[in-house]
Structure 1
Amino acid sequence: MTPKMDTTEPILFVLSIDTEEEWEWGEAFPQQDANVSNIDNIPAFQKVCEGLGLRPTYFVDYAVADNPQAVEHILPLVPEGNCEIGAHLHPWCNPPFFGPVGEFESHVVNLPKEQVSQKLENLVKKLEQSFSIKPKSFRTGRWGIDKKVMSLLIEQGFNVDSSVYPFYENEYFHCNGSPSLPYWPDLDYPLKVSSQQMIYELPVTVGFNRSNFELANKIHTAFTKPPLSWTRFNG
C-alpha cells in the first residue's frame, strides 16, 4: 500500500485585524454610539486579502457587532468561508457597564472576574446574533491575559487566544518572558508553556531586528527608564 502524502500546506503566518470602533485616543473612551464608519472599508480589504490568498481573522468587538450598518458590511463575508470572525473585548463599550472607564478600567485584566464574565457572555451572544456563528478565537482589548480571563474563555468554548504581546509591559501588566511563537499556555500563568490542549495561544508577532531578541529587549528596556532615558537612544 502506498502511504498517503500529506498535501496540507504549512501555515506561514496568521493575519488578524482588530475590528473595532475609532476615536481620538486622547479623549474619553467611547461607551455608546461609537463611530464605526471605518468598517465600511472591510469588504474592499477582504478582496485584497483574497487576491493574495489570505484568510484573515477579524476580531470583532461589541460596538461593531451591535451596529447594523457595520454588520451589513461583514456578514456577507462569513458564508464564503474566506475569513474568520473572532471576539474582541473592549471593556468601555461592551455592556454591562459598571461606571466610568479610565485607563485602569480599559484593561480587561484589571477588571473583577464577574465583570469580565458578564461582558464576555454579552459579547459572545451579540456575535452569535449578528453573524450566526459562535466565535472560537479571542483577543482582549489593549492586550494582556491572566488566569481568570483564560478560565472564562474556556467556559465560553474558545479554543484560541491571541492576547499575548511579547516584550510588552505597562504599569498594569506585562508579557515579558512569554514565547514569541504559538504555544499551549499554562492556565494558571498564561505566559508559560504547558501540556494542556484546551486552548492555544497565538502571540502577536513583534520583536527586534536582531537575532537575540531577549538581549535586544533588555537593552531597549534599559534605555526607556532613568538614568538612561535622557539619552533618547531608542529614538
Structure 2
Amino acid sequence: MSKPAFIITIDTEGDNLWQNHDRISTKNTHYLPRFQALCEKYAFKPVYLTNYEMAIDPDYVAFARDVIARETGEIGMHLHAWNSPPLEPLTDDDWRHKPYLIEYPAEHIRSKVEFMTHLLEETFQTKMLSHRAGRWAFNEYYAALLIEFGYVVDCSVTPKVNWQYSPGNPKGSGGTNYTDFPEQSYFIDERNIAKKGNSPLLEVPMTIQYKHSAVMNAFKQGYDRLRGKRRSPSVHWLRPSGGNVEMMKRVAQKSLDEGHDYVEFMLHSSEFMPGGSPTFSTEQHIETLYQDLEQLFSWLSKRTVGKTLAEYYRDKVAKK
C-alpha cells in the first residue's frame, strides 16, 4: 500500500497584507530559497500558489522558474480580487475591505481569472493546473471558470470553517460556508461544489480538525448565540503558528487515522520573513518557525511521500 501524500501549499503573495492596506511590497521573495531548501531536504515539493504582485516581481520569477526547471515544486494560481487586473472598484476602498472575488459581477470575475491565468502561463511557460481562491472564497461559477481555463485541481475548501462571518464587501454576505463540505479529496459536482460529481476538477480540501468535541462545540456555539456572537467552531489547521509543532502532528495523525490519502499544509510566503506577518514578526519567531518545520517534516517524511497538487491529481485520475 502506497504512503499518503504530503502536499505543501504556499499562498505566495505580498508582504504583511494583514496590515498593509495602501501599498504592496514583495521582499518576502528573498526568504523563499531557505524554505525551498528545507523541502528538498525531505524530498517534499511545495506548490507556490502565486498572485499578481509576485508574478511581476523579477526575483520571484527567477526563483519560480528554477523550481520548475528542476522539478522540485509547482507554480499555481492565487487571486486577490482587489488588486488583480483588470481593476474594477467594488467598494469605497477595496484595499481596506479586500472584497472576495465571488462578490464581483460575473464578467469581472471572468476577466480577472483570464488575466491571471495568461500572465502566469506566459511568465513561467507552463500550464497552470492548480489553484487556490483568495481569502478561500469559492463558488460554482468560479469552479466553472477554472475548468474552462484548464485547471484540474483546486484547494480552496476549508472543511468545518464558515467564512460568512468574515466580511469582504461591507454590503455583502461574507465568504463561503464550508461547514458541510467533504474533508477528503473529491471531483466536484459543477452544480453544487459541496458534493462529489463527475467534473474534471479535483478538490483537495485543507487538512483541518476540530479543536473540541462535537458536544463541546455545540455548547460553545449555543453560548455564543446567547451573547450575540457569530463564529465557526474552533479548529486546528495543519499550519504553523509558532511553537505548535505537536498540535500539527496531532492534526496530521488524526487525518491519517481517518483514512485520508493526503495531508495538506499551508502558509503564506510572507510568513517566512521577519515582519512579513503578525504571527512571525521577529527573527526569533522565524527561527522558531523553522525549528517547528524541521520537526514536522522529519516526522511526516516517515509517514508520507511529498507530492505537488498536480502529481496528486494524476495519481487520483490513474486510480479512477
RMSD: 2.4
| 1:44-99 Cα deviation digits (max 9, x unpaired) | 21110010111111101111001112212222111111101110011122100002
Aligned twin of 1:203:
205
Letter matched to residue 49 of structure 1: C
2: CA distance, partners of 1:69 / 1:146: 33
Aligned counterpart, 2:127: 134
| CA distance 1:177–1:103, shift in 2 (3 Å) | farther
What per-residue deviation string (whole Å, max 9, x for no partner) do you get for residues 169-225 of structure 1? 12423111001111122112111222x140000111112256x6x656545544544
1:175 aligns with 2:178: yes
Q: 1:52 aligns with which of 34, 42, 50?
A: 42
Change (3 A) 1:25 1:225: farther
Amino acid of the structure 1 residue aligned with 2:210 = F
Report SS of the residue matched to 2:210.
Answer: coil
Q: Which runs of 5+ in 2 are unaligned?
A: 166-173, 235-320
Within-5 A mapping of 1:28-67: 28=21, 30=23, 34-67=24-57
Is the contact between residue 208 and residue 216 of structure 1 (CA under 8 Å) also seen in structure 2?
no
1:17–1:27 CA distance, 2 compared to 1 (3 A): closer
> What TM-score do the two structures reach when normalised by structure 1?
0.83
> Greater relative contact order (Cα 8 A, min sep 6): structure 1 or 2?
2
Aligned match of 2:65 in 75, 80, 89? Answer: 75
Tell me the percent identity.
27
Mapped partners of 1:125, 1:144: distance in 2? 21
Letter in 2 for 1:164: V
TM-score, with normalisation over the residues of structure 2? 0.62
> Aligned equivalents of 1:215 and 1:58: distance in 2?
38
Answer 1 or 2: which has greater helix percent.
Answer: 2
Deviation at 1:23, TM superposition (A): 2.9
1:14 CA drift (Å): 1.2
Larger strand fraction of residues: 2
Deviation per CA, 1:98-150, whole angstroms, max 9, x where unpaired? 02415665212212221111111111111112211111011001002111100
Distance 1:157 1:149 in 2: 13
Matched, 1:89 2:41: no
In the alignment, what sits opposite 1:12? 5
**Counterpart secondary structure, 2:193:** coil
**Aligned partner of residue 146 in structure 2, secondary structure:** helix
User: How far, CA to CA, are the matches of 2:178 and 2:205 in structure 1?
Assistant: 10
> Offset at 1:29?
5.9
* SS, match of residue 46 in structure 1: helix
Deviation at residue 227 of structure 1 after TM alignment:
2.8
Q: State the secondary structure of the residue aligned to 2:5.
A: coil
CA contact (8 A) 1:90 1:141 kept: yes
- Paired residue secondary structure (2:76): strand
Alpha carbons of structure 1 residues 189 and 24: separation in structure 2 relative to 1, 3 Å: same
Change (3 A) 1:153 1:128: same
Asked if 2 retains the 8 angstrom alpha-carbon contact of 1:20 and 1:36, the reply is yes
The 3-state SS of whatever aligns with 1:148 is: helix
What one-letter code is carried by the residue in structure 1 that aligns with 2:200?
A: M
Secondary structure in 2 aligned to 1:177?
coil
Give the Cα–Cα distance (whole angstroms) in 1 for the partners of residues 203 and 220 of structure 2. Answer: 25
Structure 1 residues not aligned, in runs of 5+: 1-5
1:12 is displaced (CA, Å) by 2.8
